[in-house]
Amino acid sequence: MTSQVSSPAGPQSGSEEGPDSGRDAERKEVRRLDRVIIRFAGDSGDGMQLTGDRFTSETASFGNDLSTLPNFPAEIRAPAGTLPGVSSFQLHFADHDILTPGDAPDVLVAMNPAALKANIADVPRGAEIIVNTDEFTKRAMAKVGYDSSPLEDGSLDGYSVHQVPLTTLTVEALKGFDLGRKEAGRSKNMFALGLLSWMYHRPTEQTEAFLRSKFAKKPDIAEANITAFRAGWNFGETTEDFAVSYEVAPASSAFPPGTYRNISGNLALSYGLVAASQQSDLPLYLGSYPITPASDVLHELSKHKNFGVRSFQAEDEIAGIGAALGAAFGGSLAVTTTSGPGVALKSETIGLAVSLELPLIIVDIQRGGPSTGLPTKTEQADLLQAMYGRNGEAPVPIVAPATPADCFTAALDAARIALTYRTPVFLLSDGYLANGSEPWRIPDVAELPDLRVQFAAGPNHELADGTEVFWPYKRDPQTLARPWAVPGTPGLEHRIGGIEKQDGTGNISYDPANHDFMVRTRQAKVDGIEVPDIEVSDPGGNAKVLVLGWGSTYGPITAAVRRIRKGGDEIAQAHLRHLNPFPRNLGEVLRGYEKVIVPEMNLGQLATLVRARYLVDAQSFTQVRGLPFKAEQLATALKEALAHG
Amino acid sequence: MAETSPGLTQETAPGTPAGAPVSEALSLVPRAVGKQSMKDFKSDQEVRWCPGCGDYAVLAAVQGFMPELGLAKENIVFVSGIGCSSRFPYYMNTYGMHSIHGRAPAIATGLATSRRDLSVWVVTGDGDALSIGGNHLIHALRRNVNLKILLFNNRIYGLTKGQYSPTSESGKITKSTPMGSLDTPFNPVSLALGAEASFVARTVDSDRKHLTGVLRAAADHPGSALVEIYQNCNIFNDGAFEVLKDKQQAQEAVIPLEHGQPIRFGAPAEDGLGSKGVVRDPATGDLRIVDVREEGTDRVLVHDAQAASPTTAFALSRLADPTTLHHTPIGVLRDVRRPVYDDEMAGQLERAVEQNGKGDLSALLHGNDTWTVVG
């Protein structure tokens, strides 16, 4: 399905009862907004993630810029109606280019008292709150500690509250279906989606098509959901309670020309890996073990067997990377996907890959730690684990995407390094990038980098007596990469292993001087990897403070920097894609500013690295709340740094 | 003996017909051009096991047996873990990887499932395979990945200098168990049968002929093959298998298994076969050993390695006394056909192409919901 931004699709229903955007415009006031933040919140069984996803798709196809933040508990179905069971989905969309899922919602949809209680602190006065009054029973309210009803006791006086009996209205709308009250009530999320779609003039045809295809085997359920969806739309249009609807124009000028889609980080990363396989002309082999929030990459790659992708769900994390490494030996583009605890288990095999000098991509979708930590929440605290978390001197390059869509390019870059330098590479994403989404300009396949490699085909060394031999550790003088000789190549039979090897021959060697040489050579190979210089944004050229970030903090940092510049202050910004090796010019850049601030979702891991490496007094600004930074909070911190410059 | 499986022609070995018949297990592996000898499989590396180690005998048997397979040696890969036996790949002039402790089956799984044109062998020990790598071993077996796993069992940790292993007998006095080990040992054959292995055999390092025969059967088997090789560590556990090697004692201790033959052992009876036989106890369903001179030969079990159910093979494996090794079955306990993981995985890839066409990257990246921004 393709739509043109210039002609936003209205609801496309032929039926008399169906939504009709023509009429509401005449009868009701329409206000134009430049941006809106909506948060859907309910029980983990209420379908809030699906609702958010659908609203996002409608918004993407309408042509707004957008950014999303799903936030859900680790429990699949936490006890109903409790605070720990609340699942939410925040969406920020605008008529201009935006960078974050937004700090504070303008609209909160609360499907029950728990959802209201868990989220109200984030909602500023004056915002709109839509509550499902059916769920505000005495018992449900008592369960989350409401002594009196917040809908009646005046505690929501500062808000614009819409009290809607969502369940009752949904059940009423589905009277014609052969469904019990409980079953019919399940469609209340689609009723809510319909209502919000009316409020914000979202195109609806894709949602209807989506429901038809999702419930293709149960057409009754599909129709029930579509009916509930339309009923929600009609409710908005007809009821007095909703007097105003809003328009947020497409962000046409924010986007360069091209074809766009909405994409989450894990999907972009998966596509990046498939693209790397195509561009390198090597079969993709994924060895993986399920772990939140990385499993979606395993799921996605498992769907693409027609691209020659072999996905292997192993018995544990160690076997996942082991199988990948075995496939790398055999000439595949090998990948393992995991999160922090999985990296800990894979460490020994990563060390083996360092020693074997075979290409291998290790995808770490970081989550809150230590130990099991916060499985569904985001954090950036695996940087030092990726950098140093192995025995011996075992350097591994590190690549970090900055936004959900950027995961695509970062995956290709990780593949480039792995293949060119014959090394394991860390691709450090995180839970926020993984599940968050944004519009993505789909690249032309012809623009993608050529990643083809040459396997060794014959002898590469001449002995003193003139015999031609193959030396598995004779290096390319430029890249220091060793030859990749895959089994099946006649005459190149060789043995590799984790024991220290003699330079050149690869035979076991315990020689002290050889070990010293090999350790330094492996380090030199990683240090010599070509990465682009870091770019600094310093429009006035007079900034005294530089804010340096890496990974998913790109959005909030950039938003905060814009606010500061809007306020008339100068501040420079730089963002690292490559954390090992650092860009060659990084030291010079850092030393060019009086003050360097490093915001991170850890306790200062990048700051530690740059302080040690460049002897620069980098200051940390940190947060480990399992959530991305808020732009406002960062802006305040940066302002303080400017003031105390 | 199909030379190629239907639908897999593009991966079929070129020039297959020369020489020996090709087993189904090896049908995708290219054949050697010209005649091979044992020498072709010896690497230029000096063998560094202790003098007198049982590993030498196994190495010689494997190097001597390889030419028989007639495979291009560049398509043979030995993968090992850590331990004395895991140095094995360095001595084979094939492709090889000496990996990390316990992980060889996992690494070999990735190699075998991505490259069906390779003959992949895993060399491991009792500590490597059954302690630190126990998980990978059982999962490789249940999946039936096309791997030939040679488990060198010396019932001791050699490379770390003499601690007890998961196959050491209970009460074993070692450096780490001065008052005797408290562990109950694994019986690797029982374990493999419990893990759904499709091929399980046991042999002894010193019996070259038997060892070679078992290796041949393993190589011919499509899917995972576990071969337990009793191997003497003359430094830390010398004579551990003497009871099975000494002619006199072996007669009573070893139960030789041959498919289709009655399970008889011990001093010869009048019919020339062993005077003891294995029968099923009608009361318990378990197996027991009887004197055929007293109870006759009618009820003696005929060994069926191809039985669909592994229960009798398992019962046979339990006859061995874990401490004295009396009544240890030697030979192929189980050899059954079931789908091979590598083939199934390749089959899914082919089916995906049949159903959805070959992947189109541009179409994938576009998906179903796009919009266009016009400049």
Chain A 509-548, residues with CB within 8 Å of chain B CB atoms:
none
As a whole number of angstroms, the distance between CA B28 and CA B120 comes to: 12
Report the gap between the CA of B169 and the closest CA in chain A (Å): 29
Q: How many CB pairs (< 8 A) connect A and B?
A: 223
Quickly list H helices, A283-364.
295-302, 317-329, 340-356
pLDDT for B22: 64
At A140-166, the pLDDT tens digits run 999 999 999 999 999 999 999 999 999
**Domain C-terminal end among A412, A444, A476:** A444
Whether the CB-CB separation of B147 and B224 falls below 8 Å is answered with yes
Q: Are residues A297 and A326 in the same domain?
A: yes
We report the CATH number of the domain holding residue A630 as 3.40.50.920
Is residue B13 scored above 50 in pLDDT? no
Q: What is the mean pLDDT of residues B306-335?
A: 97
Is residue A10 scored above 80 in pLDDT? no
Is residue A257 scored above 80 in pLDDT? yes
pLDDT for A14: 35
pLDDT band at B19 (very low <50, low <70, confident <90, very high): very low
Q: In 3-state terms, what secondary structure has residue A582?
A: coil
At B217-275, the pLDDT tens digits run 999 999 999 999 999 999 999 999 999 999 999 999 999 999 999 999 999 999 999 99
Domain chopping of chain B, boundaries? 21-261+303-344, 263-302
As a whole number of angstroms, the distance between CA A18 and CA A24 comes to: 13
Q: Are residues A440 and A578 in the same domain?
A: no
Q: Are residues A80 and A181 in the same domain?
A: yes
Q: Are residues A69 and A168 in the same domain?
A: yes
pTM recorded for the entire structure: 0.92
As a whole number of angstroms, the distance between CA A272 and CA A442 comes to: 12
pLDDT for B305: 98
Q: What are phi and psi of A31, to 5 degrees?
A: -105, 145
pLDDT for A3: 45
Residues of B in contact with A315 (CB under 8 A): 106, 135-136, 139
Q: In 3-state terms, what secondary structure has residue A31?
A: strand
Residues of A in contact with B374 (CB under 8 A): 4-6, 257
At B89-124, the pLDDT tens digits run 999 999 999 999 999 999 999 999 999 999 999 999
Chain B residue with minimum CA distance to A445 = B362
Residue of B89, B100, B118 lying closest to A488 (CB–CB): B118
Is residue A98 scored above 80 in pLDDT? yes
Transcribe A506-554 into DSSP letters. --B---HHHHHHHHHHHHHHHHT---PPPPEE-TTS--SEEEEEEGGGH
Report the gap between the CA of A144 and the closest CA in chain B (Å): 40
As a whole number of angstroms, the distance between CA B118 and CA B111 comes to: 8
Q: Which of A628, A262, A629, A266 is nearest to A434 (CA)?
A: A266
Share of chain A above pLDDT 90, in %: 92
Q: What is the mean pLDDT of residues B78-82?
A: 98
Chain A residue with minimum CA distance to B353 = A306
At A485-525, the pLDDT tens digits run 999 999 999 999 999 999 999 999 999 999 999 999 999 99
Sheet holding B264-268, edge to edge: B264-268, B274-280, B287-291
pLDDT for A7: 33
Q: Are residues A567 and A631 in the same domain?
A: yes
pLDDT for B21: 55
Q: Are residues A525 and A545 in the same domain?
A: no
Q: Are residues A235 and A348 in the same domain?
A: no
Q: Are residues A213 and A286 in the same domain?
A: no
**Domain C-terminal end among A254, A288, A306:** A254
Share of chain B above pLDDT 70, in %: 94
Is residue B125 scored above 50 in pLDDT? yes
Cβ distance A318 to B118 less than 8 Å, yes or no, reads: no
As a whole number of angstroms, the distance between CA B224 and CA B148 comes to: 6
**Distance of CA A49 to CAs A73, A86, A87, A184, B195, Å?**
12, 11, 8, 19, 40
Q: Which CATH entry fits the domain spanning B21-261+303-344: 3.20.20.540, 3.40.50.970, 3.90.700.10, 3.40.50.300?
A: 3.40.50.970
pLDDT for B14: 40
Q: What is the mean pLDDT of residues A593-607?
A: 98
**Number of C-beta neighbours around residue B108 at 10 A:** 34
Is residue A440 scored above 60 in pLDDT? yes
Burial A180-210 (b: 16+ CB within 10 A, else e): eeeebbbbbbbbbbbbbbbbbbbbbbbbbeb
As a whole number of angstroms, the distance between CA A486 and CA A457 comes to: 9
**Domain C-terminal end among A400, A420, A444:** A444
As a whole number of angstroms, the distance between CA A379 and CA A382 comes to: 8
Cβ distance A497 to B75 less than 8 Å, yes or no, reads: no
As a whole number of angstroms, the distance between CA A266 and CA A268 comes to: 5
At B163-210, the pLDDT tens digits run 999 999 999 999 999 999 999 999 999 999 999 999 999 999 999 999
Residue of A60, A274, A323 lying closest to B361 (CB–CB): A274
Cβ distance B139 to A315 less than 8 Å, yes or no, reads: yes
Q: Are residues A237 and A353 in the same domain?
A: no
Is residue B12 scored above 60 in pLDDT? no
Chain A residue with minimum CA distance to B374 = A257
Is residue B18 scored above 70 in pLDDT? no
Q: Are residues A42 and A188 in the same domain?
A: yes
Average predicted confidence (pLDDT) for chain A: 94
Domain containing A493 equals 454-530
We report the CATH number of the domain holding residue A169 as 3.40.920.10
A153 CB-contact burial (10 Å; exposed 0-12 / middle 13-18 / buried 19+): exposed
Q: What are phi and psi of B78, to 5 degrees?
A: -110, 125
Answer whether residue A5 is part of any domain. no
pLDDT band at A75 (very low <50, low <70, confident <90, very high): confident
**Number of C-beta neighbours around residue A597 at 10 A:** 24
Q: Are residues A434 and A494 in the same domain?
A: no
pLDDT for A4: 45
Q: Are residues A194 and A339 in the same domain?
A: no
Residues of A in contact with B112 (CB under 8 A): 326
pLDDT for A159: 96
pLDDT for A645: 60
Chain A 238-297, residues with CB within 8 Å of chain B CB atoms:
252, 255-262, 271, 274-275, 278, 283, 285, 287
Cβ distance A307 to B90 less than 8 Å, yes or no, reads: no
Is residue A21 scored above 90 in pLDDT? no
pLDDT for B369: 82
Cβ distance B365 to A4 less than 8 Å, yes or no, reads: no
pLDDT for A45: 87
Number of domains, chain A: 4
Q: Which of A569, A583, A488 is nearest to A527 (CA)?
A: A583
